[in-house]
Amino acid sequence: MSHGERVLKERVHARLLAEAGDDLVPSPVVVRSRIAEHLRAEEPLLDAARFDGLLAELVHEVAGLGALEPVLADPAVTEVMVNGPGRAYIERAGVLEPVALDLDAAAIVRLAERIVAPLGLRLDRASPMVDARLADGSRLHAVLPPLAVDGPCLTIRRFGARLLTLADFGAPAEVAASLHALVEGGANVLVAGATGAGKTTLLNALSRAIPERERVVTIEETAELRLAQPHVVRLEARPPNAEGAGAVPVRDLVRAALRMRPDRIVVGEVRGGEALDMLQALNTGHDGSLCTIHANGPRDALRRLETLTLFGGTALPLVAVRDQIVSCVDVVVFVARREGRRIVTEIAEVVGAGESGEGSSPSTRALARLEGARLVTVGAPTRPARRVEANAR
């Protein structure tokens, strides 16, 4: 953008700020009309092409996401990473690529503030890091200096409009059918993987096996899940407000969910002391529940669940934690990113230490494993379906 165009846009911005008191929240049509009026008043000799281009940019900046709008208009873009002024990358089809964005430090901060302000969140030098959710469900993470050394940074993770199936994760029909039967039969499933591996998306795909007649309560730090069932209650944690008060953590929501008569509890991600409350819920009859966890593999997922449970602060002995994990977690599904694709690499059944002969910690037995480029069945579940077992009692 030329210096003249930048100055012109600043003058139009000044005009809009001067009349900001007329309407608190003008409609998009009114915004566009006012911007066009001011643009013509400031530069009446603009040719049609430049006028249309500047008008679109100003509308994006005032009522949208500014320079990010053209990027986010591409449905193939799944992640946008702004690493400070003049440095930005996008993920398209699983591949990172640089992109030219006309964003200086002030524009990045204004963009983040416009997103978080309606949510009652604070973003400034005193509170330089924030997580928020865009109107379309995309997740925003922003970090400002002094934490971000090279300038303000934004990361936006998007979720596709199409709900993926297990086949999209490389699961052949027989493996997908087995997973579907496990979820439908009330197995408690832990989805594990690294950051950005597709855990939440896989959780969405698995949830489609939940019968429509059941009441599902979802609990998330930032609401991302989109369940297809008609009877779903969505709970979202709340961070502290600008005064540092009013926070409602995931752990409190897990406890609240137990009072809501859930048939299934779905936790978007277990990452703290809520792991203890989740284990308690699973061990008191809430079968068929699903959650995700960061881990490097199925066995690592169980070890991390042990550690997070100990964060619950009840001085529970480790042997009791391990017994509860073996008792209530049935299956671990591990998802990873390979060559730009998100695929299931292993499905494992949780077994006790005595069954595996590998020490005192809970262990796993593979049900399906990635061999070459194909996920193949290598074992059959030994645990009975929990809903069938409960009905038999």
Residues 104-116: pLDDT tens digits? 898 888 888 878 8
Indicate whether 89 pLDDT > 70: yes
Domain ranges of the chain: 1-63, 72-160, 166-392
Better-scored residue on pLDDT, 199 or 134: 199
Using only C-alpha atoms, the chain has a radius of gyration, in whole angstroms, of 25
Burial class (CB in 10 A: 0-12, 13-18, 19+), 254: buried
Q: What is the pLDDT of residue 1?
A: 58
Confidence label for 360 from pLDDT (cuts 50, 70 and 90): low
Q: What is the pLDDT of residue 336?
A: 94
Cα–Cα distance between 353 and 44 in angstroms, integer?
A: 79
Residues 251-310: pLDDT tens digits? 999 999 999 999 999 999 999 889 998 998 888 878 899 999 999 999 999 999 999 998
Cα–Cα distance between 240 and 130 in angstroms, integer?
A: 10
Domain made up of 72-160: CATH architecture: 2-Layer Sandwich (3.30)
Query: Which of 124, 22, 106, 16 lies closest to 66, judged by CA?
Result: 106
178 close to 166: Cβ distance less than 8 angstroms: no
Q: What is the pLDDT of residue 354?
A: 54
Indicate whether 219 pLDDT > 90: yes
Residue 25: other Cβ atoms inside 10 A = 7
Confidence label for 339 from pLDDT (cuts 50, 70 and 90): confident
Q: What is the pLDDT of residue 389?
A: 52
Please enumerate in sequence order all residues whose Cβ is within 8 A of that of 86, keeping only pairs 6 or more positions apart, or say none. Answer: 101, 103, 104
Q: 37-46, 230-239, 330-339: which range is least confident on average?
A: 37-46
Better-scored residue on pLDDT, 241 or 226: 226
Give the mean model confidence (pLDDT) for residues 44-64. 75
Cα–Cα distance between 264 and 251 in angstroms, integer?
A: 16
Indicate whether 3 pLDDT > 70: no
Q: What is the pLDDT of residue 214?
A: 94
Cα–Cα distance between 292 and 341 in angstroms, integer?
A: 19
166-392 belongs to which CATH class? alpha beta
* 264-267/216-220 β-pairing: parallel
Q: Taking all residues of the chain, what is their mean pLDDT, rounded to a whole number?
A: 84
Indicate whether 343 pLDDT > 90: yes
Q: What is the pLDDT of residue 357?
A: 46
% of the chain residues with pLDDT over 70? 88
236 close to 217: Cβ distance less than 8 angstroms: no
Q: Which tokens belong to 48?
A: 């049609």
Confidence label for 242 from pLDDT (cuts 50, 70 and 90): low
Cα–Cα distance between 9 and 91 in angstroms, integer?
A: 30
Q: Which tokens belong to 59?
A: 């509308």
Confidence label for 386 from pLDDT (cuts 50, 70 and 90): low
Q: Which tokens belong to 105?
A: 């430090």
316 close to 276: Cβ distance less than 8 angstroms: yes
Cα–Cα distance between 307 and 155 in angstroms, integer?
A: 28
HEC profile for 280-321? HHHCCCCCCCEEEEECCCHHHHHHHHHHHHHCCCCCCCHHHH
Q: 162-166, 188-192, 323-327, 345-349: which range is least confident on average?
A: 162-166
Give the mean model confidence (pLDDT) for residues 346-372. 80
% of the chain residues with pLDDT over 90? 42
DSSP 8-class letter at 138: -
Residues 137-194: pLDDT tens digits? 788 899 999 999 999 999 998 876 667 889 999 999 999 999 999 999 999 999 999 9
Tell me, rounded to whole angstroms, the distance of Cα 302 from its chain centroid: 21
Cα–Cα distance between 40 and 313 in angstroms, integer?
A: 64
Residue 280: other Cβ atoms inside 10 A = 18
Q: What is the pLDDT of residue 160?
A: 67
Residue 384: other Cβ atoms inside 10 A = 13
Indicate whether 359 pLDDT > 70: no
Tracing tokens 């990172």 back to the chain, one arrives at: 96
Which stretches of 126-260 are assigned E, i.e. beta strand?
129-133, 139-143, 153-157, 189-193, 216-220, 232-236
